[in-house]
């Protein structure tokens, strides 16, 4: 009996010793490590980029206008385009306002001299009697620009251009300043004193005259 009790005590002692050997030691306290701040590495500056732009040709230089040889450039000035919304039918363009004069109406002999130049087949004479605004409407060389006979009896008294049936159209296209300096002349198909002739409106010619540097010029005509 004593032997069994002694043996039992030895077993319990061995068990307690094994338990003591297998118990893990207490964990050592964890020392927090110092936080190392992150270092930001600066990015290199971006390389410049070159935008490609189309190379446009330079605008064309304005072509200087010069009258034909033998024509005074102070009398025959470059024409002016009419207003975009107006289509002229009695002239190709508007007369240049430079040098236009406010003058009394032309005398009958001055009007007849212009018409005689238009009746000729000489293109130079026709241009001398007209403003460059009308030149594109002149006929080819060798043809007259006016075919009807004219005399003092076929001329109506000159009136301001705005009194013409087409005065408003011309004013809208070329402006007030031109029309203030324009005289309108009706040319009858016979003696204007004859009421039957004067009543033939569809057969009458219409001249629109300006005066520049002392020269009378036709700038519109029907």
Contacts of residue 2, Cβ cutoff 8 Å, sequence gap at least 6 = none
Label each residue of the chain as H, E or C: CHHHHHHHHHHHHHHHHHHHHHCCCCCCCCCCCCCCCCCCCCCCCCCCCCCCCCCCCCCCCCCCCCCCCCCCCCCCCCCECCCCCCCCCCCCCECCCCCECCCCCCCHHHHHHHHHHHHCCCHHHHHHCECCCCHHHCCCCCCCCCCCCCCHHHECCCEEHHHCCCHHHHHHHHCHHHHHCCEEEEECCCCCCCHHHHCCHHHCEEEEEEEECCEEEEEEEC
Q: Is residue 138 part of a domain?
A: yes
Q: Is residue 120 part of a domain?
A: yes
Model pLDDT, residue 97: 95
What are the pLDDT tens digits along the chain (222 aa)?
A: 554 445 455 545 554 554 455 555 555 555 555 555 555 666 666 555 555 555 555 544 445 678 888 899 999 999 999 999 898 889 999 999 999 999 999 999 999 999 999 999 999 999 999 999 999 999 999 999 999 889 999 999 999 999 999 899 999 999 999 999 999 999 999 999 999 988 888 889 999 999 999 999 999 999
Q: Is residue 153 part of a domain?
A: yes
Q: Is residue 6 part of a domain?
A: no
Distance separating alpha carbons of residues 181 and 192, to the nearest angstrom? 25
Q: Is residue 46 part of a domain?
A: no
What is the domain range of residue 122?
108-221
Q: Is residue 123 part of a domain?
A: yes
Q: Is residue 29 part of a domain?
A: no
Tokens of 193: 């004193």
Total number of domains constituting the chain: 1
Model pLDDT, residue 201: 85
């Amino acid at each position: 009996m004593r032997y069994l009790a002694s043996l039992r005590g030895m077993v319990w002692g061995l068990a307690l010793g094994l338990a003591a050997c297998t118990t893990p030691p207490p964990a050592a306290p964890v020392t927090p490590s110092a936080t190392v701040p992150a270092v930001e590495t600066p990015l290199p500056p971006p390389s410049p980029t070159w935008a490609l732009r189309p190379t446009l040709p330079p605008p064309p230089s304005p072509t200087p206008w010069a009258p034909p040889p033998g024509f005074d450039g102070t009398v025959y000035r470059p024409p002016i385009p009419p207003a975009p919304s107006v289509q002229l039918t009695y002239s190709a363009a508007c007369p240049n306002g430079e040098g236009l004069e406010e003058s009394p109406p032309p005398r009958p002999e001055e009007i007849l001299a212009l018409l005689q130049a238009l009746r000729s087949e000489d293109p130079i004479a026709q241009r001398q009697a007209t403003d460059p605004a009308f030149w594109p409407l002149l006929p080819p060389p060798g043809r007259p620009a006016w075919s009807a006979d004219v005399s003092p009896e076929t001329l109506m008294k000159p009136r301001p251009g705005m009194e013409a049936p087409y005065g408003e159209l011309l004013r809208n296209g070329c402006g007030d300043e031109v029309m203030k300096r324009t005289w309108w002349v009706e040319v009858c198909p016979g003696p204007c004193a004859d009421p039957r002739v004067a009543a033939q409106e569809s057969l009458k010619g219409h001249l629109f005259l300006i005066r520049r540097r002392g020269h009378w010029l036709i700038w519109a005509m029907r």
